[in-house]
Chains A and B, each alone.
Chain A
Amino acid sequence: MSWWPIALIVFGVNFTVWAAIGLARLIEETWRKRSLRKKLQQRGYGVEPSITVQDVAVLIPAHNEELVIKDSIEAIAALVPRCNIHVVSDGSTDRTVELAQQAGVNVISTRTNVGKAGALEEAIDRFDLVDRFRAVLLLDADTAIQPGYFDAALPFFDDPKVVAVAGAVRTRHERGLSLIGKVLVCHRQRIYAISQRLLKYGQTWRFTNATHIVPGFASMYRTSVLPYIEMNPPGLVIEDFNMTFEVYAKRLGKVAFTLGAVAVTQDPDNLRDYIRQIKRWGLGLWQTVRRHPPRLTLFSAMLTVLLLELLTSSMFFVLLPLLVVMLAVPAVYPEALSWPGLATVHTDVAEHMNLRVLLLAVTGADLALTCLVAVIERKLRFVALWIFFPFLRVLDAAVALYVFPKAWLSSTGRWTSPARRTVLERPALAGRVAVSAAVTAPAPKSVEWVE
């Protein structure tokens, strides 16, 4: 087997296809904007979006967020009027509610502990957001909206077909992280950087409209579609995949995305939290796919190819260590081939693979991705850590396959993710006060699954 099919699996078929479409979008939009601006200047108009920040409600679900809630509110209050900000506390046992009230924003508490999706649903109803506002920004307490977010995102709502604008996610890179923390955070930023440019940008062109995720912690929805979206179906461990799939399944409209609407979030800095998080994302994805059978739409076609590659590359990455061991051990210890069965498998594998070609193809293609990210982010640290990323991809792959059958374990009746019941203590991070996350599920950061 030659190197290039392995390299393609590692680099990604979906990336290659959607990046090409993204390039078309870049060219088309640059050209269109230039001609539009010229036209507007000739007629003496300014460009004023039809929805302004006055029309945007901010909704922050919170569970025991006393350490960050005040700062979060102050940060977002710099961008939208204070009376537009709404906090819904779900089962908080600390001073979250009191601090939010002191900050002068709208605050309610859920009557019983209902989870994040339930809290959002209840808050939209009780605050009457659908009637009072034209758009709602769903925001997590540990996520920081960057200045310029609304300027970049709101004009998309001028197109009446656009019902959601996905935010561009960045991970916060704190100083003083351990090596594993650095690796995890860089790995996550690598995924964000690549998948948002090579995947989502092409998927959300006005001619394409087929993206699998509108991140549920930093994105805006047009309020008029919310009543049509089933936000809190029983059994789902995360809500944002499902909200996205609902938009497409019910043909509610288009999803827009711009790299200019940036939200900075915090990602796990230790292996335990990281694995817990990707388990929940993976399970949430499979559960959501199970709830939404495919149709004859571009979205379903996109999803089929995306998931097929996610599964194929996951299987490949899970098999990769086995393949390497299979090829390397007999080369060093020939006697290993006398173990029953091994010789036959080794022959089969050696027929199609060569250790050098395999390793060069995997590390080469992965390093190409890393270098791309280093250029995009203008940060050399990605290149410095290049050797670790393939190992994390093996981990991601193993978890994605591990949680796959669990999509069937919660089929009927009300089932709540165990994660929502456990209080996860996020460890204190240097330079930032500890965030205690959540019975309400520590806001699942939207996932860009395929890498």
Chain B
Amino acid sequence: MTKTSIEPRRPDVPSPGGRRSLRLRLLGGSAFLIVLFLGAVALLVTVPRMLGSGDKPATLVVASLPFWNLTEGPNILATNPGTFNEVSPWIYGLARNGRIVAQAPEVTAQTRDGMDRLRKLGIPVVPSIANRTNGQWAYEPLADILHDPAAMSRHINDIVALVQRENYAGIDIDYEDLPATDRQVFTSFITDLASALHDKGKVLTVALFAKTSDAGEDQRNAGQDYAAIGAAADEVRLMAYDYHWSESPPGPVAPMPWVRDVLTYAKSQMPADKIVLGVPLSGYDWVDGKGEVVTWIQSYGRTSKYHATVQYDRLSESPSFKYTDEQGRQHEVWFENADSTALKLQAAKAAGIRGVYLWMISSEDDRTWATVRKIIPLHPTSSGEGTSR
């Protein structure tokens, strides 16, 4: 194959065929170069897409249903089959003595009826318990539970008994506004609760404040150990909304750059397949320095009533408008629509996390559900598998 003892000689003068073969060679070489160039372009375009969407596509879409919408909510789920594969009715609170009670005893009948209809849909039901007492966020009943080992184990038993009695798929813990000093006890509560539920084949999901560093902005952020809770719970629901809230100046509820940072930080702390991004569906109407929650329907109504023009902010990816009411007060509204929701769903998909939960289902943009199905399509068999791991 290798010529090593070559007789020195001049190469032949190019034969007439030489030009043709040179032309052929140049053609082959040109094709090679062009293929290489196109290949490089293809690599550059496809590789980030392949890696960006993660190994596993998002497979979980949770509907959060507040107690005040349990009449209409189940209808939305029924008329949009294949859109959700888990539902979390936000119905439980804590009594002063730490017992689990209904958040709104006055609507017990509607709640019971709504829950029955949800069960019939065949979607796993994972209700939420919030530390709300008599309709208000309350720290004291929860503090008593967390700081007394006997009370804590009684509370864990209560939760497991509730889940078993009602045959829920699991429970969602929404305990908010803990001081930083409760970090350890909150972690051990979640860890113990997770193992108690797992023993019975049930799942635990935990809602956490969104943050972009361990310390976060606030006491309540420092009180939540992402890594430890991510290790124990089956789902960690990131409350990536209320960036601007009722007490803050007006602004987007969930600006996209912040949402992306929240996802990046969460992914650095826990497995991506436990992260569930909270996607808000409502906004706030600020007037005189105070914001009031508004649904999409309400926002829509106010734009037409006051002839306001909706602006869309491309940095935060949020719609907003201003108007003056009958009393001459200046209002500023930041809300959510199907377009702003789409961006958040895409971010969740690109981050390769487990899925999203929609907070909360109540008079949202009517294009929202088609958008959800388009961006996070659920495999037919994955409906009903939302909570299975």
Chain A positions near chain B (C-beta within 8 angstroms): 1-2, 5, 130-131, 160-161, 163, 223-228, 230, 251-254, 286, 289-294, 304, 307-308, 311-312, 314-316, 319, 330-331, 334, 337-338, 343, 346-347, 350-354, 357, 404, 407-408, 411
- Contacts A357-B264, A404-B37, A408-B30; is A224 near B314 (CB within 8 Å)? no
Judged by a CB distance under 8 angstroms, whether B317 is at the interface is yes
Contact, CB under 8 Å: B51 / A1: yes
| Beyond A252-B3, A314-B40, 5 additional pairs, beta carbon < 8 A | A5-B48, A224-B7, A253-B3, A334-B315, A351-B347
- Contacts A293-B31, A338-B314; is A354 near B6 (CB within 8 Å)? no
Chain B: CB-nearest residue to A404: B37
Q: Which residues of B sit under 8 angstroms from A251, Cβ to Cβ? A: 1-3
Complex CA gap A316/B49 in Å reads 15
Q: Which residues of A sit under 8 angstroms from B109, Cβ to Cβ? A: none
Q: Which residues of A sit under 8 angstroms from B317, Cβ to Cβ? A: 347
Chain A: CB-nearest residue to B263: A354
Contact, CB under 8 Å: B36 / A291: no
Q: Which residues of B sit under 8 angstroms from A291, Cβ to Cβ? A: 25-26, 29
Q: Which residues of A sit under 8 angstroms from B306, Cβ to Cβ? A: none
- Contacts A338-B314, A350-B257, A357-B264; is A294 near B6 (CB within 8 Å)? no
Contact, CB under 8 Å: A331 / B1: no
Contact, CB under 8 Å: A311 / B9: no
Complex CA gap A369/B40 in Å reads 23
Chain B positions near chain A (C-beta within 8 angstroms): 1-11, 25-33, 36-37, 39-41, 43-44, 47-49, 51-52, 256-257, 260-261, 264, 313-317, 343, 346-347, 350
9 smallest beta-carbon distances between A and B, as pairs: A293-B28, A337-B314, A311-B40, A334-B315, A290-B29, A343-B314, A130-B8, A352-B52, A160-B4
Q: Which residues of A sit under 8 angstroms from B47, Cβ to Cβ? A: 5
Complex CA gap A25/B328 in Å reads 83
Q: Which residues of B sit under 8 angstroms from A161, Cβ to Cβ? A: 2, 4
Q: Which of A130, A312, A331, A357 contacts B257 (CB 8 A)?
A: A331
Complex CA gap A353/B257 in Å reads 11
Please list 17 pairs of residues, one from A and one from B, whose beta carbons are closer than 8 Å in the complex, sorted by A's number. A1-B51, A163-B4, A224-B5, A225-B6, A252-B2, A253-B2, A254-B2, A289-B29, A291-B26, A292-B29, A293-B31, A308-B39, A311-B36, A311-B40, A350-B257, A353-B48, A407-B33
Contact, CB under 8 Å: B30 / A290: yes
Q: Nearest Cβ distance between residue A317 and chain B, in whole angstroms?
A: 11
Q: Which residues of A sit under 8 angstroms from B5, Cβ to Cβ? A: 160, 224
Complex CA gap A251/B2 in Å reads 6
Q: Which residues of A sit under 8 angstroms from B26, Cβ to Cβ? A: 290-291, 411
Complex CA gap A228/B6 in Å reads 9
Complex CA gap A316/B315 in Å reads 25
Q: Which residues of B sit under 8 angstroms from A290, Cβ to Cβ? A: 26, 29-30, 32-33
Say what secondary structure dominates the interface of chain A. Answer: helix
Q: Nearest Cβ distance between residue A404 and chain B, in whole angstroms?
A: 7
Contact, CB under 8 Å: B314 / A315: no
Contact, CB under 8 Å: A351 / B350: yes
Contact, CB under 8 Å: A2 / B51: yes
Chain B: CB-nearest residue to A338: B314
Q: Which residues of A sit under 8 angstroms from B52, Cβ to Cβ? A: 1, 351-352
Complex CA gap A85/B7 in Å reads 24
Q: Nearest Cβ distance between residue B36 and chain A, in whole angstroms?
A: 5
Complex CA gap A315/B48 in Å reads 14
Contact, CB under 8 Å: A294 / B43: no
Q: Which residues of B sit under 8 angstroms from A289, Cβ to Cβ? A: 29, 32-33
Q: Which residues of B sit under 8 angstroms from A315, Cβ to Cβ? A: 40-41, 44
- Contacts A252-B2, A253-B4; is A5 near B51 (CB within 8 Å)? yes
Complex CA gap A60/B262 in Å reads 64
Complex CA gap A128/B316 in Å reads 76
Q: Which residues of A sit under 8 angstroms from B49, Cβ to Cβ? A: 352
Complex CA gap A1/B33 in Å reads 29
Contact, CB under 8 Å: A350 / B256: yes
Q: Nearest Cβ distance between residue B11 and chain A, in whole angstroms?
A: 6
Chain B: CB-nearest residue to A411: B26
Complex CA gap A321/B30 in Å reads 30
Contact, CB under 8 Å: B51 / A227: no
- Contacts A312-B43, A334-B313, A350-B260; is A223 near B8 (CB within 8 Å)? yes
Complex CA gap A227/B7 in Å reads 9
Contact, CB under 8 Å: A227 / B44: no
Chain A: CB-nearest residue to B349: A351
